[in-house]
Structure 1
Amino acid sequence: MALKYGCSINTTVEDENNEEDSPLLQKEAEQLPVPPKCCSVRCNLAIMMFFGFAVVYGLRVNLSVAMVAMVNGTSAQPSLNGSDTKECPASPGTLNSSSQSPDQPDGVPQYQWDSETQGMLLGAFFFGYLFTQIPGGYLSGHFGGSIFLGGGVLSTAVLTLLTPLAAQLGARWLFALRALEGFGEGVTFPAMMAMWACWAPPLERARLMTLSGAGANFGAFVSLPLTGFICHSLGWPAVFYCCGGAGCLWAVLWFIMVSDDPRKHPRISDQEKEYIVYSIGSEGGSHGWSVPLLPMLLSIPLWAIIITQMCSNWSYYTLLTSLPTYMDTVLHFDLRQNSFLSALPYLGGWLFSVLSGVIADNLLERELLSITAVRKIFTAVGLLLPAGFLVAVAFSGCSGVLAVTFLTLSSTIGGASSAGVYMNQIDIAPRYAGVLLGITNTFGTIPGVLAPIAVGQLTKDHSLMGWRKVFYVSAGVSAVGAIIFTLFGTGKIQHWAVSEDETETDRDS
C-alpha cells in the first residue's frame, strides 16, 4: 500500500457521498516524524514566494496611485448635474485634486486622460494576464514552476522600467506595455500552485499557501503609500524605476535559492525531504504532457471554484485598481493621504489571510471538520461579510472615516477566503493543481479587465451616486459567489485526478 495522506485520498464517483470515510491521516503517515517548521526549506520557500508576490503586486498596483499624479487634474472638471451628482466637499487640510495637480517636483510630465482612458489603462494589465494562465500552469506542471515564477516576475519588472517612456509616447503605447506586463506575470500564480503540489504536506497546505499568497496583500499595502511618497518626493517616473529594480533583484535571489522539487534541493535535510515526499505521495508532482482536459471541463467542483473566484475577484480588482481614484475624486484626500488610506485595507487582508491559514490547518489536524467544510466556511466568511461592508461603504456618503473603516473591514475579512476557495484546486486535484489554477485564474482575471472599465462608465461624472453603484455591484457579485461555492464546492479529490497506477495499488491493498 502506498504511503500517503491528504492529497492521496482515494475518492471515486462511488464514494462521492461518503467524504468522512476519507481520513486526512493514514496510520503509516502518522508514524513519520514531523520536522520543525521554523527555518525549514519549505517555510523558506513560502517566504521567498511571499516577497515575490509582494513585488508582483507592487508592479501591478503602482499605476493606480501614480495615475493620480500622471493626470493633469486641471484639464477637465467633473460635470455636476443636479443634487444627486454633487461631489462631497473637501475636508479642511486636504488638497482637492479635482482643482489642483498633485504636489510633485517641477518638470514631471502630466497627461490629459479622461476617466474612460484611465479605466482602460488600469485594466490593460489584465488583457495580457488572461492569455498565459493556462499555458503557464500546464508547462509549470511538466517542467517545474520555479523557472516560470521567477521568469514571470523578472519580465514584468524589466517592462515596468519602460513605463515612463511608454507614457511619453502616448496612451496606446502605455496600454500595450501594461498588457505585456500582464502577459509575463500571468504565469506566476499557476507556477506557485505547481510548486506547492511538490512541496506542501497536505496538513500544512493552508498555512504555507496563505503565507506565500499573502505577499499580494502585503505588496499592495507597502506599494500604495510608497508610491504616493515617491510621487511627491521624486516624481511619478521614479515609482516605476524603483519597483522594476526591486523585481529584478528578487528574481536573481530566487534563481539562486529555489528548486522545483524537494528531491533536487541541495540544502534540505533528509528528515524534511522524507516527510514531504512521503506525505504528499504519488498524487503530487509532475503530471507529464497528458491532462484529462474533458473531465476537468465537465467537473462541477471545478466550475464552482471558477465562478466563485470570478465573483470574489470583481470586488478585489475594483478596489485594487480604482480605490485611489475614489479617494481622490470623492473623498478629496491629497496624494499622500490617498496612497496610505488606499493601502490600509490590504494590511488587514494580509494579516487575516495568514491567520486563516493557520486556523484552517489546525481544524484539519484535530479532525474537527472535513476539508470540504473548512473550505466552504472560510469562503462564505471571506465573501459574505465583506459584501455587507461594501454596502456600508455605499451608505457612508461623504464620511471619509466611515468609508475607510468599512473598506478596511471588508478587505480584512476577505482574507479568510485565502484558506477557502483560493486553495481548493490542490484539494480536488493535487497532480494538476497548476493547470487548474491556470484555468480558474484565467476566468478570474476577466473581472480585472471589466471592473475598471465598468467603474469608468459608472463614475463618468465623479459623483457619489456613481461610486455608490460601484459598491452595490461589487457586494452583490461577491454574495453570489459565496452561495455557489456553498452549494457546489467540495474538498474531495476527484476521480479524474487519481492516476491509474495509484488506483490499481489501492485496489490491491
Structure 2
Amino acid sequence: MALQNGYSIDSSPLDESGDTTPLLKKEVVDVDDSVPPQCCSARCNLAIMMFFGFSVIYGLRVNLSVAMVAMVNGTKSQPSLNSSGGHEHTAHAKTLTNSYIPLYLWDSLTQGLLLGAFFFGYLVTQIPGGYLAGHFGGSIFLGGGVLGTAALTLLTPLAAQLGPYWLFGLRALEGFGEGVTFPAMMAMWARWAPPLERSRLMTLSGSGANFGAFVALPLTGFICHSLGWPAVFYMFGGAGCIWAVFWFILVSDQPGTHPRISTREKDYIINSIGKGGGNHGWSVPLLPMMLSVPLWAIIVSQMCANWGNCILLTSLPTYMDTVLHFDLRQNAFLSALPYLGGWAFSVISGVVADSLLEKELLSVTAVRKIFTITGLLLPAAFLVAVGYSGCSGVLAVTFLTLSSTAGGTSAAGAFINQIDIAPRYAGVLLGITNTFGTIPGVVAPIITGYLTKDQSLAGWRSVFCLSAGISAVGAFIFTLFGSGEVQKWALVEVDQEQAETKRDRFIPIHDR
C-alpha cells in the first residue's frame, strides 16, 4: 500500500524535555489516514448547528437590553423593586399597531438589576452542566439549554406585567437554562475536534454569539417599533424552539454514534483525538484543577474579558439612548454594529491560529497568548477612546466597533485554552472558568447603573475606563501564567504510560 509523508497523533505525547504538548514531529503514515475534507463533513455541520444555536441564545440574552428602551417610560420616576404589583408601576402608550403596549416606570438601578438578573441563574449551572456533559455527552444539555431558555422567553411579557420581581426571577431562570450550553459545547468538541482543527471549529461555533447579537439588536429595535416590544420575546422564543427540534434530530454526542458520518471521517476524528477526548467518568481531579496555575490564568483572563463584553451586551443601548440620543431604530442598529467585526475576526482568528500550528511556526502556548493579548489590550485602548469621544456619535460608534472587532481575536486564545490543557475535562473546566467569568455579568450592570445614575458623560467615561483597566489586567495575567500544554493531572494512567514510552508521536497536517 502506498505511503506518504504526514503526521500521526497521540493523545498525550511528550517532547524531549518531558513536557506534554499536542504538536510533535513528522513521520510516515498510511495514505488512508489522510485528512478528510471539512466541507459538508459531520464535524463542520456540527459547528454550523452550534453557530446557529449560539446565535439564538445570544439573541435571547440581549433582546431585553434593547426592548428595555421601549418598555420603560423615561418621563417618570418610580421606586423600583419595592413594589410587588406590575399594574402599580405601568403606563400605557399607543403604538403604530393601534394597540396599547405597557410602559414601566423603572429607574436606572432597577433596569440594571433586571439586565443583570440573567447572570444570577447563569452562575449556578456552569459547573454541573460541564460535569454532566463530560460524563453523559453534551448534545442533550446544549439542546435542552437552548430549548428551556427559549420557552421561558415566551413568558417575558407576562412576567413584566406581574412586576419587576417576576421578571427578575424569569430572567434568572433563563440564565439557569442557558448556563449549561457553553460547557456542553466544550465537552462535545473534546470528542469531535481534531487537534489541528480545534481553533477554527470552536471559533466558528462560538462566533454565533457575536452574530446573534449583531442580528438580534437591530431586529429587536425594528420589531419594537413595528409590532410592539412583546412581539420581540414571542418571535425570538419561537425561533429557539424551532432550532432545538433540528438539533435533536441531526446531532450526535460523538462521531462513533453519528448515523450519517463517513467511515473515513469517523476514523480520522477518533484516531486523531485518541483517548484524551473520552468520557471522564464520575470522578474528576478537582484538587489538582484548583491548584493549576494555567487554569487560574484562564479564569482571570475570562473574567476580565467578560467585564467589557457584559457592558456592551447589557448597557450599550442605554448609552446610545441617554448620551448619544439615537432614536430606537438607530440605537438598535448602532448597538449591533460592534458585534459584526467581532464575529468576523473571531472566525478569522481560528483559521489563522490553526494555520500557525499546522506550519509549526509557533507553539500552542505562544498562539494562545498572542491572541489573548491582542483580544484584550486593543479593545481596552479603544474603550478608553470611547470614554473621551464626548457626545460625538460617529467617534463613539467607531471606537466601540473597533474595540469589539479587536476583541474577536481572543476567541482563538484563552477561550478555547481549556481543551488544550485538559481535553478529557474540557467541559468541566469551561464550567469552572465560565462560572467565574459570569461574575462580571452580575456585577458590571449594577456598577454601571450606579456610575451612570445621573446619566452624565463623566459617569459613562468612568464605565469605559474601568472596563479597559480590567481588560489590561487580564492580558497581563495570562501572558505570565497561561499555557497550551496538556497538564499531567489531565492524563489517565494509560496516557501516562504511553507518554513515558512514546516521546516522538506526531499529528497530520497534509491534505487540508
Q: TM-score, normalised by structure 2?
A: 0.91
* Structure 1 segment 248-263 matched on structure 2, within 5 A: 248-263=241-256
2:494 aligned with 1:501, yes or no? yes
Question: Alignment length, in residue pairs?
Answer: 481
Q: Deviations over 1:17-72 (max 9, x none)?
A: xx7x8634563668621001101000000000000000010000000000000000
**Residue type matched to 2:70 in 1?**
A
Letter of the structure 2 residue corresponding to residue 50 of structure 1: F
Give the Cα separation in 2 of the matches to 1:247 and 1:228. Answer: 19
Report the equivalent of 2:205. Answer: 212
* 1:391-448 deviation per Cα after TM superposition (whole angstroms, max 9, x unaligned): 0001100100000000000000100000000000000000000000000000000000
Aligned to 1:367, the other structure's residue is in SS state coil
**Are 1:239 and 2:232 matched, yes or no?**
yes
User: 1:23 aligned to 2:39?
Assistant: no
Q: Measure how far apart 1:73 and its partner are.
A: 1.5
Out of 8, 17, 24, which is 2:12 matched to? 8
Whether contact under 8 Å (2:141, 2:184) holds in the other structure is yes
In the other structure, the counterpart of 2:462 is 469
**How far did residue 8 of structure 1 move?**
2.7
The structure-2 alpha-carbon separation of the partners of 1:75 and 1:501, relative to structure 1 and needing over 3 Å to count, comes to same
How far apart are 1:506 and its partner, in Å? 3.2
The whole-number CA distance in structure 1 between the counterparts of 2:28 and 2:158 is: 60
- Residues 1:339 and 2:332 are matched in the alignment: yes
Q: Compute the displacement of 1:74 (Å).
A: 1.4
Measure, in 2, the Cα distance between the counterparts of 1:27 and 1:241.
Answer: 56
What residue number does 1:275 align with?
Answer: 268
Give 1:387's aligned residue. Answer: 380
Give distance in 2, aligned partners of 1:149 and 1:23. Answer: 30
Query: Contact (CA 8 Å) 2:15, 2:24: kept in 1 or not?
Result: no
Deviations 1:442-487 (A, max 9, x none): 0000000000001000000011000000000000000000000000
Q: Flag the 1:341–1:499 CA change in 2: closer, same or farther, 3 A.
A: same
- Which amino acid in 2 is paired with 1:53? F
- Paired with 2:233 and 2:14, the residues of 1 have a C-alpha distance of 49
Match of 1:457 among 426, 443, 450: 450
Indicate the residue corresponding to 1:323 in structure 2: 316
Instruction: State which of 404, 407, 426 in structure 2 corresponds to 1:411.
Output: 404
What do you get for the CA RMSD once the two structures are aligned?
1.8
1:167-187 CA distance string (max 9 Å, x none): 000000000000000000000
Q: For residues 489 and 387 of structure 1, what CA distance do their matches in structure 2 show?
A: 20
Amino acid paired to 1:73: G
Asked if 1:433 is matched to 2:436, the reply is no
Question: Superposed, which structure 2 residues align to 1:196-207 within 5 Å?
Answer: 196-207=189-200
Give the residue type in structure 2 aligned to 1:49.
M
2:351 maps to which residue?
Answer: 358
Determine if contact 1:386/1:409 at 8 Å carries over to the other structure: yes
Report SS of the residue matched to 2:102.
Answer: coil
Matched to 1:121, the amino acid is L
Percent sequence identity is 74
Q: Which residue of 1 aligns with 2:508?
A: none
The answer to whether the 8 A contact 1:424-1:491 is kept is yes
Q: Partner letter of residue 9 of structure 1?
A: P
Question: What are structure 2's unaligned runs of at least 5 residues?
Answer: 1-6, 79-91, 503-512
Counterpart Cα distance in 2 of 1:26 and 1:60: 46
Paired with 2:223 and 2:303, the residues of 1 have a C-alpha distance of 33
The one-letter code sitting in structure 1 at the alignment partner of 2:221 is G
Structure 2 match to 1:120: 113
Relative to 1, partners in 2 of residues 1:104 and 1:298: Cα closer, same or farther, differing over 3 Å? farther
Instruction: Kindly indicate whether the alpha-carbon contact (under 8 Å) linking 1:119 and 1:455 is maintained by their aligned counterparts in 2.
Output: yes
Deviations 1:355-381 (A, max 9, x none): 000000000000000000000000000
Runs of 4+ aligned residues of structure 1 deviating over 6 Å after TM superposition are 100-103
Secondary structure of the residue aligned to 1:108 is strand
Distance 1:491-1:190 versus aligned 2 partners, 3 A rule: same
- The amino acid across from 1:57 in the alignment is Y
User: Hey, what's the Cα distance between the residues in 2 that align with 1:166 and 1:282?
Assistant: 47
1:179 is aligned to: 172
Return the letter of the residue paired with 1:66.
Answer: A
CA contact (8 A) 1:74 1:101 kept: no
What is the match of residue 54 of structure 1? 55
CA distance in 1, matches of 2:294, 2:367: 15
Change (3 A) 1:472 1:372: same
Give the corresponding residue for 1:108. Answer: 101
3-state secondary structure, aligned to 1:151? helix
Whole-angstrom distance in 2 between the partners of 1:27 and 1:101: 72
Matching residue's letter, 2:408? G
